[in-house]
Amino acid sequence: MPKVIITGQVNDAAKWEAGFRTHAEMFRTYSIKAPIHFALDGNAVTICMEPEDLETFNRSMKSQATADAMAFDGVKRETVKISVLDKGLEL
């Protein structure tokens, strides 16, 4: 399963987190089955997701439903960056 890191800025971290926690059903449509991890640092957000299907994930991220959820949660959409972790280091 690929890991995806999403970073961005939000208007209000507490409001964002409260909204984000209500989107579990929507995240399932992204092919997310594993827990989602996130961190807040002021108004900076970092999220780690593990979609089962990267194509489905990418399509869902571009959907109107996602845009609406981000707008409702106060995400500054122009600051959102998505990175797919495609390399690893075995120890």
pLDDT, tens digit (0-9, with 9 covering 90-100), for 26-79: 999 999 988 999 999 999 999 999 999 999 999 999 999 999 999 999 999 999
pLDDT, tens digit (0-9, with 9 covering 90-100), for 8-20: 999 999 999 999 9
Triad 59, 84, 76: Cα angle to 5°: 65
What does the pLDDT read at residue 91? 94
Pairwise CA distance, residues 88 & 49, whole Å: 16
Q: Assign 83 to helix, strand or coil.
A: strand
Domains by residue range for the chain, with CATH: 3-85 (3.30.70.100)
pLDDT band at 1 (very low <50, low <70, confident <90, very high): confident
